Chain A
Amino acid sequence: GDSVTQMEGPVTLSEEAFLTINCTYTATGYPSLFWYVQYPGEGLQLLLKATKADDKGSNKGFEATYRKETTSFHLEKGSVQVSDSAVYFCALSTGNNNDMRFGAGTRLTVKP
């Protein structure tokens, strides 16, 4: 079935470091891809999304490009801040039966 695999955490970075969180997917159709963020004590918030191959989603300095050839949707940010500390979830949806699949989540801690 459809699934998402993302790099295991936790990830600890210093402020202003470059961030990459890897995400790869398996899907029978043509999924839409998402990154959600969960700040401490809060629910998930949509961070960015891409609906077709080669699309780039971006928000708050984060970017991810839908790579069909490598079935990947890696999350990147050029310069992280302490306020970016959160758990990041990669997800996919094929639009069938409202089915959205989430990865296991990657905890990011940014230190001053």
Chain B
Amino acid sequence: DTAVSQTPKYLVTQMGNDKSIKCEQNLGHDTMYWYKQDSKKFLKIMFSYNNKELIINETVPNRFSPKSPDKAHLNLHINSLELGDSAVYFCASSHVGNQETQYFGPGTRLLVL
């Protein structure tokens, strides 16, 4: 059973489109995260959600919006995709009392043409 899953695994789309990436965790965690990994492998946190409340929001364009329908899901919606959005996006989750130990999903490879 996959602990943290993401769909789709690969996403190729045109500039200007709107797309969503889904994330689900079955670990019973109450905090979820989205990270962006660029072509140089640098990993940067984008968002985290704790009990449906946004905890941190780094300097991410407002074209990116996290949506959490329930504690087990944190989806990432991206409007008006740009070439620079091409990257691998990782979802992660943790317990609020142990946020230092995060479990990561397999990643979604987004390519914007």
- List the interface of chain A (C-beta within 8 A of B): 32, 34, 36, 38, 41-46, 49, 51, 87, 89, 93, 95, 97-102, 104-105, 107
- B20: Cβ under 8 A from any A Cβ: no
- B99: Cβ under 8 A from any A Cβ: yes
A87's nearest neighbour on chain B, judged by CB, is B41
Q: How far is the CA of A82 from the CA of B54 in the complex (A)?
A: 41
Chain B binding surface SS class: strand
A-B interface, 8 closest residue pairs, ranked by CB to CB distance from nearest: A43-B104, A105-B41, A102-B43, A44-B104, A93-B100, A98-B99, A98-B48, A104-B42
Q: How many residues of B are counted as interface, with CB atoms below 8 angstroms from the partner's CB atoms?
A: 26
Chain A binding surface SS class: strand
Q: A93-B100, A97-B55 are in contact. Are A105 and B42 (CB under 8 A)?
A: yes
A36's nearest neighbour on chain B, judged by CB, is B104
Q: How far is the CA of A49 from the CA of B33 in the complex (A)?
A: 19
User: Can you give 28 A-B contacts (C-beta < 8 A)?
Assistant: A32-B100, A42-B107, A43-B90, A43-B92, A43-B104, A43-B106, A44-B43, A44-B90, A44-B104, A46-B101, A46-B102, A49-B100, A87-B41, A89-B43, A93-B99, A95-B99, A97-B48, A98-B33, A98-B94, A99-B45, A100-B45, A100-B100, A101-B45, A102-B35, A102-B44, A104-B41, A105-B40, A107-B41
* Distance in Å: Cβ of A26 to nearest Cβ of chain B: 17
